[in-house]
Structure 1
């Protein structure tokens, strides 16, 4: 295959844009369809499709945030109004959040770990697709992605769990790059 310089350069400079720096507009329905199509084009040994997606957009962002605040208050009765407001805004200001759920399928061909990695790849591919379509993205997984009650409220079913939330919108900043590990510090050569 020939070198794809544009893709190489993008991958060398890719940087997430935090949810607080994402705003309207979000993807149009046609753009979203393309982002989702690209997002699910990931390794999936055995073709099990061990993941599914939940879209949180429009007024549903506020409703989901209000329900998260109620759950958070039950979990932490001492949570003050400022803390509750943080929970209410978990899906704001980004115009779209895609929740990626692991739906493991027991099979000797692909362990649950392999299926989890496939779902994680969906999160990362959604981020790449958003950037390719001219938007920015941030992949997170906060407390509500680990809490069973919150996961259920957000649409997970028995045996499923969220592996990430990909927030997508228009960037309000150009993020500065952060220091990356040197290759020498993280790579070794195997030797018998």
Structure 2
């Protein structure tokens, strides 16, 4: 049995796992109707399931690998909230059975895979920039993507080949941070640090 948390905390973790990206707290509330209170947030952070941090004035959340593992166990072994109606309780029982089936066959990751990575990159790009054609640092984009670096690089290259995405080196190399160097993608023997997407 996984350790239990409040329903809102459990919901936040599962939503973050499904989205596969960093989610601002305001979006968690407005878009997903999940209010993650300070006590619940602190408990999840202290237990290593969640990483909450400030980006400017915004509080953002990212699920950890440990958090994903906890979600898998909770969905397959966790108890349903006590105040559920009969239909919701039966749905929870079906979910647990399906989850066990997926876990036993190693299919869980494929079943809950986040939205298409290219769509996710485009969404994060627009969230971080000032609209299409704005140059955004890869160092800001990469941390928002819950995907392996190789998979992200391959997707970026496919986007460039499609013609509406551009990757360039920073014109002023002196202002680059360690994060910029680490996030760069090497193309044609040159590190690219910035990305822009044209409006289709």
TM-score by length of 2: 0.24
Please state which structure has a larger fraction of its residues in helix.
2
- Structure number with larger C-alpha Rg: 2
Highest relative contact order (Cα 8 Å, sep 6+), 1 or 2?
Answer: 1
